[in-house]
Amino acid sequence: MSLIVAAVAAGVAAAAGGWMSARAWRKRKAPQVVNGPPPTRPKALQGIDMALGDVVLFGQEEAWLKGVLVLEESRTCVCAVFFTHQGPDGDVVLVQPAPQRTLLRMRPARIELDVGTEPSVIEHEGQRYTRSWRRPVVVGRLGEELPATEGTATWSWFEAPDGTVLVSLTGGARGLAWTADPAADSSAVRLAGGEATLRPL
């Protein structure tokens, strides 16, 4: 009789051990909490008040940030060019860290840039843009749907008499350029995807 009791007890113990092991395995495999804290900001974007996944509201228009070109000088981010859900040929959101704290929604400028030269004046859609400055930068890439770029480029800033600006990024076989009206973007608001909070920029 005692042998039967011992066998039953051993069976129960084995079943309990198997159930505990399965429970522990399921716990390790459990999905992460959806409403947890936002992911850590990539080191390359330190100083930039924006992150991939954010939504920027310009009036009633939304710009979903899906990819970014990070422009660095001496290993410090001097500008981030965010590409939106419109893809590499759509509008971009240009952000500069402090002290400039620039935020612009820029439209693609359909101009041919000779990457072998760096013009001081660009004519575009009846406007004459004069270069204010240029600087060599290292180009980092994060996210999706980014245009082809080289690892190094020249970043140039042009201004027109009416206050509109043109920014170009030249390097390798292709140049990129965008234009914006800074006065039109003064009411931009960011909806942070990771934190789901609405706040002014």
Q: Say what the pTM is.
A: 0.74
d(C-alpha 59, C-alpha 151), whole Å: 35
**Is residue 170's pLDDT more than 80?**
yes
Q: What is the mean pLDDT of the chain?
A: 77
pLDDT tens readout for residues 65-81: 999 999 999 989 999 99
Task: Name the percent of the chain lying above pLDDT 90.
Answer: 38
pLDDT tens readout for residues 35-65: 334 444 567 787 888 889 888 888 778 888 9
Cis peptide before 99 (omega within 30 of 0): yes
39-62 burial, b if ≥16 CB within 10 A, otherwise e?
Answer: eeeeebbeebbbbbebbbebeeee
Residue boundaries of the structural domains of the chain: 43-200
**Is residue 30's pLDDT more than 50?**
no
